[in-house]
Structure 1
Amino acid sequence: MNLKSAANFAILAGSTVTNTGPTKVQGHLGLSPGSAVTGFPSGVMVPPSSIHISNATVDQAKIDLTAAFKDAANRSGGTSIAGEIGGLTLIPGVYSASSSVKLTGTLTLNGNGCADAVWIFQIPTTLTTASRSKIVLINGAKAANVFWMVGSSATLGTYAIFKGDIMAAKSITVTTGVDVEGRVLAQNAAVTLDTDNIHMP
């Protein structure tokens, strides 16, 4: 997966970005075509991160995000996964759900000793993680190689530990106290944050 210029952004949104509390963001924040970014400060952009609102830089990033989303969606031959992925250990590959996906408890991604191992999750509707759920990476798995293609919206539950880049067609809500090693990339709607830690891998 190649995010191109979108890889420079920890957060992308289409309509608004709203933050509550001392969220920390490591990576650029971009919004287009919307214009309302609220809650920074008290949210903190870790230098050299910056905020881009409806400028050429974020517009190109949104174009590249759309291309990456389509690339992920069009990957064929995926292994079917059920609606609940908590408790699973998954090796590298493409995983396809028939509808919404929920993560309760722990999802383990096993790289089998390969530093280039890639996971692509194709979720046609919503992704929801439960409170205090977590994704664990073992045997060489890297958050930079985990991609979540979400056809609707994603919601990360309180104090969850999440790995990988979320590419959602609509909105992404990151509730209180979540740690995201990855990117929060919403194509068309809002990103909502609350006292979170968003850091690119």
Structure 2
Amino acid sequence: MVGVVALSLPVQSAYATGTAVDLGTSASYSVLGGQSVTNTGSSVLAGDLGVSPGTSITGFPPGTVLGDTHTTDAHASQAQSDLGIAYNSAASQASDASISDDLGGSTLLAGVYTASSSIGVTGTLTLDAEGDPDAVFIFQIGSTLITAPNSTISLLNGAQSCNVFWQVASSATLDTNTQFVGTIMALTSITANNGTTVDGRALARNGSVTLDTNTFTNSVCEDTPPTGTPTDTPTDTPTDTPT
């Protein structure tokens, strides 16, 4: 049963307070765990894989890491430190609207959305940038984030996955065949069930990341084409040929 989205402010216009979260060195990771990372099946990670301060990474292979793997080394430690800063940055941004229950079937414009407890996604949640490729979507979730099987986060009108951030105060679970978008920064753990795809990152501060035949693609912003006033191409003035 799909819940009703509760908003304390209207959503007919975009909000202006959200700013993109600086992930620091954690930006290079598809998956970062605090205690462990466990994989089943042929998962593919486009970016780095790491764990810190825990020491356990299992399931690679059969999983494939196209970036680098960091197990309790200086790089993973720094990434966890930067993740903590990014998590707090997302959590401290001023809220534009309150949300609750299930976001499936909703269309949200850019802004900072806050839930005091758990949030679900059943069906499709659409994020509409209204033609602004720099539009930022931040979700501050007071407890868990759970998607239903076959749910989708859809990007509309220039929205980019690199500008979508999920700050989760507990754990996140992406159920079977979810098509997810954005960077999850979970205080505890993250689970991606069989067939789920993530255009973004699964970054867990204190707990574990559990994968099962998942595909992670790089969440990288495309450069906005520069705009300016075109200038005329100079042309030579013909001169008479002496006779």
- Residue in 2 that maps onto 1:122: 140
- Residue in 2 that maps onto 1:66: 84
Once the two structures are TM-superposed, the CA of residue 198 in structure 1 deviates from its matched residue by 1.1
Q: In terms of Rg, which structure is larger? A: 2
- Residue in 1 that maps onto 2:30: 10
- Residue in 1 that maps onto 2:116: 98
Structure 1 residue 57 corresponds to structure 2 residue 75: yes
| Residues 149-182 of structure 1 deviation map (CA, whole Å, 9 limit, x = unaligned) | 0000000010000000000000000000001000
Q: Which runs of 4+ in 1 moved over 6 A?
A: none
| Residues 104-161 of structure 1 deviation map (CA, whole Å, 9 limit, x = unaligned) | 0000000000010000000010000000000110100000000000000000010000
- Residue in 2 that maps onto 1:198: 216
- Separation in structure 1 between the aligned mates of residue 95 and residue 183 of structure 2, nearest angstrom: 21
- Separation in structure 2 between the aligned mates of residue 104 and residue 32 of structure 1, nearest angstrom: 32
Once the two structures are TM-superposed, the CA of residue 183 in structure 1 deviates from its matched residue by 0.3
- Residue in 1 that maps onto 2:55: 35
Residue type of the alignment partner of 2:51: L
Once the two structures are TM-superposed, the CA of residue 184 in structure 1 deviates from its matched residue by 0.3
- Separation in structure 2 between the aligned mates of residue 62 and residue 200 of structure 1, nearest angstrom: 19
- Residue in 1 that maps onto 2:189: 171
- Separation in structure 1 between the aligned mates of residue 101 and residue 22 of structure 2, nearest angstrom: 27
Structure 1 residue 84 corresponds to structure 2 residue 111: no
- Residue in 1 that maps onto 2:202: 184
Aligned residue pairs, count: 199
- Separation in structure 2 between the aligned mates of residue 52 and residue 162 of structure 1, nearest angstrom: 24
Residue type of the alignment partner of 1:96: T
Residue type of the alignment partner of 1:170: T
Q: Structure 2: any 5+ residue segments left out of the alignment?
A: 1-20, 220-243
Structure 1 residue 25 corresponds to structure 2 residue 58: no
* SS in structure 2 of the partner of residue 66 of structure 1: helix
Residue type of the alignment partner of 2:146: T
- Separation in structure 1 between the aligned mates of residue 101 and residue 89 of structure 2, nearest angstrom: 22
TM normalised by structure 2 equals 0.81
| Residues 69-92 of structure 1 deviation map (CA, whole Å, 9 limit, x = unaligned) | 000111113311121100100000
Find 2:154's aligned residue among 127, 136, 140. 136
Q: Structure 1: any 5+ residue segments left out of the alignment?
A: none
Find 2:174's aligned residue among 156, 168, 171. 156
Relative to its length, the structure with more strand (as a share) is: 1
Give percent identity, aligned residues only: 49
- Separation in structure 2 between the aligned mates of residue 184 and residue 148 of structure 1, nearest angstrom: 10
